[in-house]
Amino acid sequence: MGLEVVSFILGAILLAVGLLGGGIEVKEIKIPKVSRFPRILSVCAGLVFILLGLWLAERSKERPAPEEPPAPDLIIMSLTHSPETPTTADTITFTVAVKNIGSGKAGRSTLALKVGGETVPKIYSVPALEPGERYRVQRRSALSVSQRYRNTATADIKNEVRESDETNNQKTDDYRVVPPKLPDLIIESLTHSPAKPTTADKITFTIVVKNIGRGTAGPSIVGLKVGGETLPKQYSIKALGPGNTYTLRRHMTLSKAQRYRNTATADFKNQIRESNETNNQKIDKYRVVITVKEDCVSFNPRTAEVKQINGRWKIVDGDHWLFDFGKKRDEAKLALAIIKHYRMNQSCFVGRPDPSFQYMLVSGRAPQGSYPGEDCVSFNPRTTEVKQINGRWKIVDGSHMMFDFGNKRDEAERALRIIKKYGFTRSCFVGRPDPSFTYLR
């Protein structure tokens, strides 16, 4: 209770006594009746004390209130992340700046930073901060899930500092982590030229590598395996931006007639992190055939016919004599029927003018199908070979002697290459044991 209040109360009591003349009883307080002179003194004294109380009250209004001690105020000045649009492949830097915006010094405190859905934030010690002073904390982390995130930073998380404002200690940062812009290397094409190579051709293998991803692919290695190679040949290629291509070529002669399978592999050594690691390979299948110089005469099977000329039965096409059957008219007619059935239009030879081997083609291909009742012997072109038997060169399939070339080894080897080139599997005859017409299919 202030002095001015006490003065008012005392003045009021004295004034009441003077005016009423005493005889006042309030609970345990009893004031007896007083005479006239004391009453006058009591009124005067009461007025003096009341005036004194008014004066003291007025004076107390003029005195300034006691000043509060200066207080700190800690805030999260900034909470940021870098890069601005992070990916799941990035290491993200989170930066928190704590600042004392109060008028007093803040003692040591604790900062909490919660990234995304963390249940327990990471804690950092913050030193004492003078008014206006700031302190920065950084945290680095990789976020492997592509989604939205919210980070929360809280100054003075343990309420160690008495602040002028305890409601402004927190700040949030919302952002999204997206999939990275990764490259994706593919073999766009793997080709060979010529399209139907032979054992004599210089074949060009062409590879086109393309980056179909959204990011740039650094320098990498391309592997190309031709046929049964155990180790592919490797090529270094430059960095490729999105949509860019790189072309490689390899030149080879394949001396063995067979089927081949080439395999090209982009990023052969797995140096590049790609959006799709399963599409780096492409395959090219083709067949290399034997090259052989062929001697063929073309004719029209539609206009071919059997004619007797100078007493001998022949198959002719206009004035072109194709085959001579001597007196064997029936064999000539059967041979013509076979020619028309298969639509044979090329008569081919090895070793003219006295050929050691003859065969028929249909526009550059082996005859296909069969003719009812034809006389054919099967063989396997894969196991067929040239052998010298009793001083004579022969084409044989195991113990089966197929063609005899006498001392003409070169013609035997050329005939074998022709058999393998066209894949002949049957040797056919008209008029055995001394056939007047032979063909293969």
| pLDDT tens profile 202-224 | 999 999 999 999 999 999 999 99
**CA–CA distance, 369 with 209 (Å, rounded to integer):** 43
Going by pLDDT thresholds of 50, 70 and 90, the confidence category of residue 352 is confident
Which region holds residue 210: left if phi is over 0, alpha if psi is between -120 and 50, else beta? beta
Where is pLDDT greater, at 112 or 19?
112
pLDDT over 70 for what percent of the chain? 95
Residue 327 lies in a domain: yes
Least confident of 50-54, 136-140, 277-281: 50-54
- 57/9 Cα distance (integer angstroms): 13
Q: Over 70: is that where the pLDDT of 66 sits? A: no
Residue 190 has pLDDT above 90, yes or no: yes
Question: What is the rounded average pLDDT for all residues in the chain?
Answer: 91
Question: Predicted confidence band at 239 (pLDDT cuts at 50, 70, 90)?
Answer: very high
Q: What is the domain extent for residue 33? A: 3-62
pTM: 0.49
Whether residues 422 and 319 fall in one domain:
yes
Asked if residue 436 and residue 309 are part of one domain, the reply reads yes
What's the pLDDT score for residue 27?
A: 63
Q: Among 288, 308, 336, which residue terminates a domain?
A: 288
Q: Are both 319 and 374 inside the same structural domain?
A: yes
Q: Residue 108 belongs to a domain with what CATH number? A: 2.60.40.10
Residue 363 in any domain: the answer is yes
Domain count, the chain: 4
* Model pLDDT, residue 277: 95
H runs (alpha helix) in 227-366 = 329-342
Report whether pLDDT(26) > 80: no
The last residue of one of the domains, among 11, 27, 62, is 62
Please indicate, yes or no, whether residues 99 and 232 belong to a single structural domain of this protein: no
For residue 251, being part of any structural domain is answered with yes
Q: How confident is the model at residue 30 (pLDDT cuts 50, 70, 90)?
A: low
- Look up residue 101 and give its two tokens: 């915006």
Question: Is residue 50, in this structure, part of any structural domain at all?
Answer: yes
Give the pLDDT band of residue 59 (cuts 50, 70, 90). Answer: confident
> 69 in a domain, yes or no?
no
Indicate whether 221 belongs to any domain. Answer: yes
56 lies in the same domain as 79? no
Same domain for 436 and 304: yes
Lowest mean pLDDT among 16-30, 147-161, 343-357, 387-401: 16-30
The tokens describing 96, both together, are: 């928190």
Look at residue 200 in the predicted model and tell me its pLDDT: 84
Q: Is residue 68 part of a domain?
A: no
Rounded to an integer, the average pLDDT of 223-246 is 96
For 156-257, strand residue ranges (E) read 170-177, 185-193, 203-211, 220-225, 233-237, 245-252
62, 89, 108 — which closes off a domain? 62
Token pair of 319 as six digits: 């004035």
The reply to whether 374 falls in a domain is yes
Same structural domain, 310 and 353: yes
How far, in whole angstroms, is CA 381 from its chain's centroid?
47
**Quick one: pLDDT at residue 299?**
96
**Residues 421, 325 within the same domain:** yes
The crossing angle, in degrees rounded to 10, of helices 36-62 and 3-20 is 160
> 309, 366 in Cβ contact below 8 A?
no
One domain, residues 173 and 192: no
Does residue 380 sit in the same domain as residue 334? yes
User: In this structure, are 415 and 330 located in the same domain?
Assistant: yes
Q: Is the pLDDT of residue 50 over 90?
A: no
Report whether pLDDT(64) > 70: no
Same domain, 217 and 309: no
Distance of alpha carbon 357 from alpha carbon 339, whole angstroms: 18
Higher pLDDT, 238 or 289: 238
